[in-house]
Amino acid sequence: MGREVKLSLVFRDMWQSAGKYQPRVDQLLKVAPAIVRMGCFDRVETNGGGFEQVNLLYGENPNVAVRAWTEPFREAGIQTHMLDRGLNGLRMSPCAADLRRLFYKVKKAQGTDITRIFDGLNDPRNVLPSILYAKEAGMVAQASLCLTHSPVHTADYFIALGKQFIEAGADEICLKDMAGIGRPVTLGKIVRGIKEAFPDIPIQYHTHSGPGFSMASILEVCLNGCDYVDTAMSPLSWGTGHPDVIAVQEMLRDAGFAVKEINMEAYMEARSLIQEMYDDFLGYYCPEYNRLDNSLLIKPGLPGGMMGSLMTDLEDNLSSLNKWKVKHGEPELTTDQLMVKLFDEVAYVWPKVGYPPLVTPFSQYVKNLALFNVISLEKGKQRWEIFPDTVWDMVLGKTGRLPGPVDEEIKALAASLGRSFTDADPQGNYPDCLEDYRREMAGKGWDCGEDDEELFEYAMHPQQYEAFRSGKAKADFEADLARRKAARNAPASAGLPSVITVSLYGVRYKLDVAYDGAAPAASAATVAAPAGAGEDLTAPLSGKFFLTKDTQEKPKKVGDPVKKGETLCYIEAMKVQNAVAADFDGVITAILKSNGDAVEEDEPILKIAKN
């Protein structure tokens, strides 16, 4: 046999590419022994990316989960690896430097061996500090090249970037083909170019199956020197996920590579356990579209890891948009129609905002901006009517240097809004924060945890952590899961409303409705009664209501004066906090929602009296 190629199981990304949530820790511990016994994996992706955040969303402590989940693999001599977002740590927004440094210390202490560092813009200023922090903590620093296909993303561009990361101390390189749209021949050139300069640096290839290039790409990178390949397993392989380990192993062995055998008895056991997890609750958050390959993904280049949440988001946005269309006597759209419109708009928006590689968080930013445009255009409005601050930060250079030029249309829009561009080091925009969070935890009587892991979790995900500690996250998740199960199992009431709004003596109430004598499921917000005078401030899109985006921001309260254009609150939708601003000068007379409440587009959230 020829040169050995080693296999990695991207267990975390398998689930993120399929849907919204990850398995519970008890489910993870049940499947771990079978994965170990499969005998073919040198590495398993255990955590990172959205893992910690989604655990919080359904009420589970991610620190407990990561410590328990990594242990069986480390005991078996299998390396554990995680995905991290450089400047953003594990979240969608940038982090302070002291939080980034603590991040690696915590994850190393919890049992994660390798960190896959990536920056959505491929800006070395966001990656190089993380390489240093990871190595300080004793982790293997694997620096990623976020691959995409555009006029500015050439093989020479990626080869030069890989060399820069290695010269700065990276132990390994990952070709992160997060959308699976890297062209096989070009990917082979990138691997060969890096290996010619640094033959002893391991290279790992990560791809997604959806667009259809994945198997050809895996073969091409291995022929040119790739050392590790990420794979998945049934029932979560292929589709918007990753190639199945059986197919990859057979292909590489036929090509003359040495690849470990698969214990098929253990494979079938692990497969059955994964299906049990799917049937238990995770499948309620895995749209069927994500189980299919789709070459339509080549044009927009959206990443497989985002498709899990995209289709769920589209369901909500389609429902809201179709309500508007029915109200205005227009024909409703199907999911396919909205999806094609979205993909076309992504292709239109992407070059205008400087060709950011479509990976978290910038894939969400571009996709969200495109979706807002589609909704606006469908309602007879203009593009760019909703342009979130987070997207502006990307366009203006506050989160890193864009690989391509920003379109003149966007520059003119920025100038009209008084927004300015910058090329300063992004880290300078985010001052140290840990001591502030440490004081807040002490004030709440919360322990910072072993190795400061609870402090880390609070500082990294403040709103989700508070919802987890209060029990609200678990209650909201269980109520949502109950609604989804009821909707799937109660066809007799299909098409009938589960929520209605009534007006009584000028006051509006939301009522939950159930049929056939069943008790109605509790909604996130049962009453939307305006408590003061003035005009309604309505939600510009469906999502979750928050008064602040983090604990450092002071929330608005009833009686506060506001100025036109001033940010009053946020709607979290599609993993992004979207600021909601005042339409006029006035005074807040009522706050109609609580933090974490679900809201629909055009639903009143605040009441403001004009000056």
Cα–Cα distances in angstroms (integers) from residue 303 to residues 150, 204, 512, 557, in the given order: 15, 18, 37, 39
Q: For 259-300, how does the pLDDT look when each residue is reduced to its tens digit (9 = 90+)? A: 999 999 999 999 999 999 999 999 988 877 667 666 766 766
Confidence class for position 598, pLDDT limits 50, 70, 90: confident
Residues 439-469: pLDDT tens digits? 999 999 999 999 999 999 999 999 889 999 9
Lay out the sheet containing 604-610: strands in order across: 535-538, 604-610, 586-591, 561-562
CA angle 273, 276, 281 (to 5 degrees): 135
115 close to 140: Cβ distance less than 8 angstroms: yes
Q: Is 490 exposed, middle or buried (0-12, 13-18, 19+ CB in 10 A)?
A: middle
Both tokens of residue 273? 């356990």
Which pLDDT value is given to residue 144?
Answer: 97
pLDDT at 238: 93
Is 479 exposed, middle or buried, given 0-12, 13-18 or 19+ CB atoms closer than 10 A? middle
Distance CA 263, CA 96 (A): 45
Contacts (Cβ under 8 Å, ≥6 apart) of 7: 40, 41, 42, 43, 228, 229, 231, 245, 248, 249, 259, 260
- CATH code for the part of the protein at 497-610: 2.40.50.100
pLDDT(362) > 90: no
Structure tokens that stand for 532 in this block: 């003061």
- The pLDDT tens digits for 206-258 are 999 988 999 999 999 999 999 999 999 999 999 889 999 999 999 999 999 99
Q: Using the predicted structure, report yes or no on whether residue 524 has a pLDDT greater than 60.
A: no
Looking at every residue in the chain, the average pLDDT score rounds to 88
Query: Would you say residue 310 has pLDDT above 80?
Result: no
Percent of the chain with pLDDT over 90: 59
% of the chain residues with pLDDT over 70: 88
What is the per-residue pLDDT for 510? Answer: 52
Model confidence at 596, in pLDDT bands (50, 70, 90)?
Answer: confident
Instruction: Write the pLDDT tens digit of every residue in 409-422.
Output: 999 999 999 999 99
β-pairing verdict for 507-512 and 499-504? antiparallel
Both tokens assigned to 232:
């998945």
What are the strands, taking DSSP E only, across 12-156? 41-48, 79-84, 114-117, 140-146
In this prediction, residue 56 carries a pLDDT of 81
Q: Which residue has the tokens 């791809």?
A: 207
Sheet holding 543-546, edge to edge: 576-581, 567-573, 543-546, 598-599
Give the residue-averaged pLDDT of 383-397: 91
Mean pLDDT (whole number) for 599-610? 88
Q: What is the mean pLDDT of residues 55-74?
A: 92
**Helix, strand, coil in percent for the chain, rounding step 5:** 45, 15, 35
C-alpha 113/C-alpha 81 separation (Å) is 6
Q: Is the pLDDT of residue 306 over 80?
A: no
Q: In a 3-state reduction of DSSP, which class is residue 382?
A: coil
pLDDT band at residue 303 under the 50/70/90 scheme: low
Helix (H) or strand (E) holding 245: helix 245-254
Q: Determine the Cα–Cα distance for residues 145 and 206; give it in Å rounded to an integer.
A: 10
Question: Is pLDDT larger for residue 364 or for residue 422?
Answer: 422
pLDDT at 574: 65
For range 544-567, the mean pLDDT: 85
- Is 518's pLDDT higher than 50? no
Instruction: Give domain limits for the chain.
Output: 1-489, 497-610
- Other Cβ atoms less than 10 A from the Cβ of 42: the count is 16
Residue 398 pLDDT class (50, 70, 90 cuts): very high
Q: What is the pLDDT of residue 488?
A: 79
- For tokens 């049937």, the residue is 279
- Note the residue count of the chain: 611
Residue 529 binned pLDDT confidence (cut-offs 50, 70, 90):
very low
**Mean pLDDT across the stretch 364-391?**
89
Options 3.30.70.260, 3.10.300.10, 3.40.50.300, 3.20.20.70; which CATH number does 1-489 get? 3.20.20.70
pLDDT at 611: 79
How confident is the model at residue 219, as a pLDDT? 98
- What are phi and psi for residue 231, nearest 5 degrees? -140, 170
For residue 511, what pLDDT band results from cuts at 50, 70 and 90?
A: low
The answer, as to whether pTM is greater than 0.75, is: yes
Per-residue pLDDT, 163? 98
Question: pLDDT tens, 185-214?
Answer: 999 999 999 999 999 999 999 999 988 999
Buried b / exposed e along 174-207 (16+ C-beta atoms within 10 A): bbbbbbbbbbbebbbbbbbbbbeebeebbbbbbb
